[in-house]
Amino acid sequence: MRNFIIVLLLGCVLISCNKISSNYVNFRGFVQGTTYNITYSSVDSIVYKDQIEALLAVFDTSLSTYNKQSLITKINNNKSKKTDEYFNEVFEKSKEVYTKTNGAFDITVAPLVNYWGFGFENKDEIADTSIVSILNYVGLDKVKLSNSIIEKADPRVTIDANAIAQGYSVDIVAKFLDTKGVSNYLIEIGGELKTKGVNKKGKVWRIGIDRPFDNNNIPGQNLQAIIKLQDKSLATSGNYRKFYERDGIKYSHTINPKTGYPVNHTLLSVTVIADDCMTADAYATAFMVLGLEKSLQLIKKLDNIEAYFIYSDKNGKYQVKSTPEIKKLITEV
């Protein structure tokens, strides 16, 4: 999201319905630099738009790298070590995924993302020696969190939660609706989403997955597949909407935190299904770093994670691979 989390990849969109029935509420808007779309069942038709936007505004003051007064900005600028519940939740999940992916997912990758021109600073000339230097203060093992106090081994370490916080914001809205007794909903923020129950027609929610070709910037216009999603979360990541070219070379926005360079493999996009959206968001990013084969090996060791991979073969043709359970939910377009 702009001003909160850059929306790099809106890999999935809600397949829109016509008119929402009287016992379903639907509203959409623009928060924290991206769009959102929320639909839920409501016996009394209460609209929670103001409460949800207020909730997300508070979330922004914790984890937005674009908010100069946010908690994460103060930590990055070494003006504070104190964290909050939002930061702690994201940090602990990030640490878990960092460990399970052997460092492929790393929220301290911010200096490298910025150096390559995809973060919250302007792009500079690229030099191998600079990348080697930056790698000295990249690595989540250089950060410790205890009793809501964060300690950095090097003051130059900076944290960017963009690859996980957007998914977490979906979970926060879902938790809010759960406390209101809502039994059916679809929450979509910047392309990451979570569903519960069924839609207004009493059927499982249906989600479109975009075809990953360069500059496919209109979600839903060119679909690769449609997936049925019930009581699960979904996040998509890819390299087809955020990249730049220099001297005839295309540079992906996905940076490998271990090498310091943009990834260079055949995986174009990955859609991940998990119980919560924060987990789905993190693994979608990790799999884009790892590439197809390493991701397929890793996912066998993970619980309650399903994935749908779109990649290009040696002839440049689109191919797909998916985990067994997700095959039952997917319909190719």
Q: Is the pLDDT of residue 74 over 80?
A: yes
pLDDT at residue 123, as a whole number: 53
- What angle do helix axes 292-299 and 277-290 make, rounded to 10 degrees? 140
pLDDT, tens digit (0-9, with 9 covering 90-100), for 246-271: 444 444 578 899 999 888 888 988 99
| Protein fold of 58-162 | T-fold (1.10.3980)
pLDDT at residue 9, as a whole number: 35
HSE toward the beta carbon, residue 271, CA cutoff 13 A: 31
Higher local confidence (pLDDT), 317 or 203: 203
The span from the CA of 256 to the CA of 264, in Å, is 9
How many residues make up the chain in this entry? 333
Banded pLDDT at 118 (limits 50, 70, 90): low
61 burial (CB, 10 Å; 0-12 / 13-18 / 19+) is: middle
**Among 12-16, 208-212, 281-285, 302-306, the least confident range:** 12-16
Ramachandran assignment for 275, one of left (phi > 0), alpha (psi -120 to 50 degrees), beta (any other):
alpha
Q: Is the pLDDT of residue 21 over 50?
A: no
* Residue entry with tokens 């949800």: 52
Ramachandran assignment for 242, one of left (phi > 0), alpha (psi -120 to 50 degrees), beta (any other):
beta
DSSP track, 82-101: B--HHHHHHHHHHHHHHHHT
List all residues 6 or more positions away from 203 whose beta carbon is below 8 Å from its beta carbon. none
**Among 109-113, 135-139, 202-206, 241-245, the least confident range:** 241-245
**Residue extents of the structural domains in the chain:** 58-162
The percentage of residues in the chain with a pLDDT greater than 70, rounded to a whole number, is 83
CB 170 within 8 Å of CB 194: yes
What's 262's DSSP letter?
A: B
CB 154 within 8 Å of CB 222: no
Banded pLDDT at 278 (limits 50, 70, 90): very high
Residue 146 pairs in a beta bridge with 149
Residue 37 pairs in a beta bridge with 28, 188
pLDDT at residue 238, as a whole number: 82
pLDDT, tens digit (0-9, with 9 covering 90-100), for 229-251: 999 999 999 865 444 444 444 44
The span from the CA of 104 to the CA of 283, in Å, is 9
Q: Is the pLDDT of residue 215 over 80?
A: no
Banded pLDDT at 19 (limits 50, 70, 90): very low
Banded pLDDT at 309 (limits 50, 70, 90): very high
**Among 64-78, 116-130, 301-315, the least confident range:** 116-130
CB 188 within 8 Å of CB 37: yes
